[in-house]
Amino acid sequence: MNFKESLAVALTGLLANKMRSFLTMLGVIIGVAAVIIVVAIGQGMKQETLQRIQGMGTNLLTISPGPARTGAVSTDITVINLELSDAEEIKGSVRNILDLAPEVGRMVQAKYRNMNYRTRIVGTTVEYQTVRNWKIAQGRFFDASELRGRQRVCVLGPEVVDELFGRASPLGEWVRVNGIPFEVIGVAEEVGGGGFGRSPDNQIVAPLSTVAQRVMGRSHLDSITVSATSADAVDKVEKGIEVLLRRRHKLRPGQPNDFRIMKQSQMLSSMSEAGETLTRLLTGIALVSLLVGGVGIMNIMLVSVTERTREIGIRKAVGARKSDVLAQFLIESVVLSVIGGAIGIGLGVGVAKLLGKQGDWTTIISPASIIYAFAFAAVVGVFFGLWPAKKAADMDPIEALRYE
């Protein structure tokens, strides 16, 4: 029996039990679709996050406190050692710095009338707007006099506005942040997506002096964002900051830094690696459903072999070779997987596009994920169909003919 004849026999057997065949393929369909959807979402989130980071410029550095140490061993405790005076001296002493913005922040409960929303408040200086490239859509940013006067004014990210005000204008209204009233003087432009990091659309920005004293009750900083004059000057700025802070923090030669300096290029690399790791993890989970579908195929094929025992006996009695029977049942298994994989591709691509259009998600359909998912489905069909096919091929024709 040639391949065409084996394929025709296999399709005839599958069409004879349409519902059972479809239910058998369901695991493969879901598995292939899940792989395509997960990869599309993961790639979209990764690209959106990287674009957002790149949009802030490639000339940024972020200084943050380092871990506390016990001897030569790092601990999980963060050193409280980054002060406003550090930021002021960095700005005044280190060359090739365009500007910098010290920051403090924490998660807070924001309330407007009967609406509550969990978000993040960032206390910073007037330079934050230019350093972070944070544009204002409505109203204005706070000024130096409001910073010096510890005024309770704030600028809201668009997500916060949507949650607290809906379509109404928030300008001139008062929002309570952990019970402390802040007047809304501005609304930021939408940047887009949270991706793998914190979204700048989901935050409240207020004067550093106000947030540090009234909301957080402390003076030390969480970070300092520094803008170099150019991307080429970043390494020089990093070295200058390191020398200055080591001197200010009285660190001896050979003693490790008690602070971290993260360049934008390093952040891009870290976020890219994190995105790839997350996508691989989710893809691995999705592939498990393909294996479950393979087990379903093997189970049904074993049932089919049992049901068609007399048919196998008759075929062998009239001259069918062992390889013919093996090919027949193996092709049935592969056909189940391949058809299921094809349907899964259509479903996965359709859902990914629907999420992109209707669900406000950024999705990127990867041709590689389609190829890998389909190939994996075919391999599943061969692997899990081999045992039932071998069982059918090894049957003794006389015993098979006696089977009731």
Q: Any idea where the domains of the chain sit in the sequence? A: 3-51+270-402, 80-257
Of 82-96, 297-311, 381-395, the range with the highest mean pLDDT is 82-96
pLDDT of residue 196: 43
Residue-wise pLDDT for 153-204, tens only, equals: 999 999 999 999 998 999 999 999 999 999 999 999 988 654 444 678 999 9
* Sign of the alpha-carbon dihedral angle for 383, 388, 390, 393: negative
Closest CA to 377 of 315, 300, 307, 287: 287
Q: Calculate the CA 349 to chain-centre distance.
A: 19
Q: What share of the chain is helix, strand, coil (3-state, %, to 5)?
A: 55, 20, 25
**CB contact at 8 A, 146 and 70:** no
Of 12-26, 27-41, 149-163, 268-282, the range with the highest mean pLDDT is 149-163
What separation in angstroms does the CA of 293 have from each of 25, 29, 300? 7, 8, 11
Residue type present at position 155: V
Closest CA to 356 of 364, 348, 344: 364
Residue-wise pLDDT for 313-345, tens only, equals: 777 777 777 777 777 778 878 888 888 889 999
How far is 295 from 274, CA to CA, in rounded Å?
32
Residue-wise pLDDT for 235-272, tens only, equals: 899 999 999 999 999 889 888 988 999 887 676 667 67
pLDDT band at 127 (very low <50, low <70, confident <90, very high): very high
Closest CA to 216 of 294, 108, 312: 108
Residue 29 makes CB contacts below 8 A (sequence gap 6+) with 293, 340, 341, 343, 344, 347
pLDDT band at 404 (very low <50, low <70, confident <90, very high): low
Residue type present at position 204: I
Closest CA to 60 of 129, 132, 126: 132
Place of tokens 């005076």: 85
How far is 156 from 183, CA to CA, in rounded Å?
10
Q: What is the SS3 assignment for 307?
A: helix
Q: Calculate the CA 63 to chain-centre distance.
A: 25
